[in-house]
């Protein structure tokens, strides 16, 4: 079965346009694929650019080939979806630019990596004198939190190419981009999961600072596993976790606070991760899925899912489910195909 992703979309920015027109084209392109940005191009420059994008389930990958420019992020609304909490990964491939995100300012070149949240991205800027090539990856924060980490990105991380995980991430992302059009549904889901896990690993290794003597990190990992298991059997209660691990409720709060998190958000992330898997891999109705994962009803699940992913659970299933060529909404057979960003379907 062919994986349901969009074709890479090539958008060349014509250097013959007037400067003001070309600035508008770049602003529109970035608003669609990254966030709302005000662009300033050199008055005497005629440099062209090229952009290519592809979806990997709920992740958005974009290749950027940009001329010299300055950019000012004008809002913290990524992709015009104010209810969607997103983490952005920016990987350098050529040229150098100066990035400023969330109070972090750094020279950004080939092999470097910046990870920032939607809140931080809304207060950023960038500038390049010679043009730059880079790649961006947008992923829901809920996906990052569900990667057995409970992580939140409170600040921007700017990392050099000498860091082992950064090097691994860049190599893997490059390979995913090249192979994505030929991936099966199973391969695409595995690639998506691996990308999220790599980002979570980088944030975890850079963003959590505790002493080796502290037992809280180990407890936190045990709590994540307990929550995942207990969710299969009913609601997860703080007092039950404390009793099971023979610690106080205050200790559990401290374990989650290591990453600026709390138990409620950790349970929410785990539940939504389980819901997402059911939407993609089963034909259960939304109501059955809601009951299975301890929501009051389908409406309750739908409201929470939309808050995190920006679309309804039903829309998510229609866009990304790949269950053996059967539409899980109406169970009618359909032809496997590649879903283009314009909404059309191209047969395999």
Q: How wide is the angle at C-alpha 192 spanned by C-alphas 189 and 195, nearest 5°?
A: 150
| Section 110-130 average pLDDT | 74
**Total domains present in the chain:** 2
Q: What residues does 345 pair with on adjacent strands? A: 339
| CATH at 26 | 2.60.120.280
Closest of 112, 90, 128 to residue 160, by C-alpha = 112
| CATH at 319 | 1.10.10.60
Residues 18 and 99 in one domain: yes
pLDDT band at 16 (very low <50, low <70, confident <90, very high): low
Which pLDDT value is given to residue 341? 33
Residues 22 and 158 in one domain: yes
Last residue of a domain, one of 191, 207, 223: 207
Percent of the chain whose pLDDT exceeds 70: 72
Which pLDDT value is given to residue 204? 76
**Residue 243 within a domain:** no
Percent of the chain whose pLDDT exceeds 90: 16
Q: What is the pLDDT of residues 141-195, one digit of tens each?
A: 778 777 755 455 556 777 888 888 899 999 999 999 999 888 888 888 889 989 9
Which pLDDT value is given to residue 117? 73
**Residue 228 within a domain:** no
Residues 80 and 181 in one domain: yes
Which pLDDT value is given to residue 205? 75
pLDDT at 44 over 90: no
Burial state string for 21-56 with b = 16 or more CB within 10 A and e = fewer than 16: ebbebbbebbbbbbbbbebebeeeeebebebbbbbb
**Residue 221 within a domain:** no
Q: What is the pLDDT of residues 262-309, one digit of tens each?
A: 888 888 888 998 999 899 999 999 999 999 998 989 999 999 998 888
Distant-in-sequence, close-in-space partners of 133: CB < 8 Å, separation ≥ 6: 63, 64, 65, 66, 92, 93, 94, 95
Quote the tokens at residue 143. 């996906």
pLDDT at 69 over 70: yes
Residues 42 and 160 in one domain: yes
Residues 20 and 147 in one domain: yes
- Out of 36-50, 65-79, 213-227, 322-336, the most confident range is 36-50
Q: What residues does 333 pair with on adjacent strands? A: 326
CA distance 284 to 298: 12
Last residue of a domain, one of 182, 207, 232: 207
DSSP H or E stretch at residue 121: helix 118-121
Residues 202 and 268 in one domain: no
What is the chain's Cα-based Rg? 21
Residues 191 and 275 in one domain: no
Last residue of a domain, one of 177, 207, 237: 207
Query: Are the CB atoms for 306 and 295 separated by under 8 Å?
Result: no
194 backbone φψ class: left, alpha, beta (φ>0; ψ -120 to 50): alpha
CA 9, 35, 147, 291 dihedral sign is: negative
Q: What is the pLDDT of residues 232-271, one digit of tens each?
A: 888 898 998 888 888 888 888 888 877 667 888 888 888 9
Helices (H), 154-285: 164-179, 185-207, 216-230, 238-245, 249-257, 263-281
Which pLDDT value is given to residue 172? 94
Distant-in-sequence, close-in-space partners of 246: CB < 8 Å, separation ≥ 6: none
Quote the tokens at residue 100. 């400023």
**Residue 47 within a domain:** yes
Distance (Å) of CA 321 to CA 158, 159, 308: 35, 35, 18
| Section 92-101 average pLDDT | 80
**Residue 247 within a domain:** no
Which residues span the domain enclosing 200? 11-207
**Residue 90 within a domain:** yes
Residues 171 and 291 in one domain: no
Residues 158 and 302 in one domain: no
Output the average pLDDT for the chain: 75
Which pLDDT value is given to residue 174? 92
Q: What residues does 140 pair with on adjacent strands? A: 86
CA distance 280 to 328: 9
CA distance 8 to 201: 28
Residues 199 and 50 in one domain: yes
Residues 177 and 55 in one domain: yes
**Residue 332 within a domain:** yes
**Residue 251 within a domain:** no
């Amino acid at each position: 079965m062919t994986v349901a992703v969009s074709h890479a979309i090539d958008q060349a920015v014509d250097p013959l346009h007037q400067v003001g027109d070309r600035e508008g084209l770049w602003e529109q392109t970035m608003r669609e694929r990254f966030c709302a940005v005000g662009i300033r191009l050199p008055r005497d420059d005629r440099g062209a650019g090229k952009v290519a994008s592809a979806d990997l389930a709920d992740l958005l990958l974009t290749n950027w080939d940009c001329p010299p420019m300055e950019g000012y992020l004008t809002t913290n609304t990524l992709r015009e979806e104010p209810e969607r909490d997103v983490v952005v990964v920016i990987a350098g491939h050529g040229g150098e630019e100066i990035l400023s995100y969330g109070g972090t300012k750094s020279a950004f070149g080939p092999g470097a990596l910046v990870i920032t949240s939607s809140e931080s991205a809304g207060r950023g800027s960038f500038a390049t004198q010679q043009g730059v090539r880079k790649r961006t990856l947008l992923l829901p924060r809920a996906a990052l939190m569900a990667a057995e980490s409970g992580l939140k990105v409170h600040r921007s991380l700017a990392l050099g190419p000498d860091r082992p995980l950064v090097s691994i991430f860049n190599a893997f992302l490059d390979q995913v981009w090249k192979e994505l059009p030929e991936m099966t549904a199973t391969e695409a889901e595995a690639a998506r999961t691996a990308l999220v896990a790599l980002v979570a690993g980088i944030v975890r290794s850079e963003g959590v600072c505790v002493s080796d003597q502290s037992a809280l990190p180990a407890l936190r990992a045990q709590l994540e596993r307990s929550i995942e298991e207990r969710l299969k059997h009913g609601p997860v209660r703080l007092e039950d976790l404390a009793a099971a691990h023979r610690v106080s409720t205050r200790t559990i709060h401290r374990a989650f606070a290591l990453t600026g998190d709390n138990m409620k958000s950790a349970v929410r992330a785990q539940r939504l991760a389980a819901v997402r898997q059911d939407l993609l891999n089963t034909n259960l109705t939304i109501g059955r899925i809601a009951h299975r994962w301890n929501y009051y009803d389908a409406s309750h699940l739908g409201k929470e899912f939309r808050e995190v992913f920006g679309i309804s659970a039903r829309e998510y299933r229609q866009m990304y489910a790949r269950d053996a060529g059967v539409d899980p909404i109406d169970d009618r057979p359909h032809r496997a195909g590649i879903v283009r960003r314009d909404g059309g379907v191209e047969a395999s």
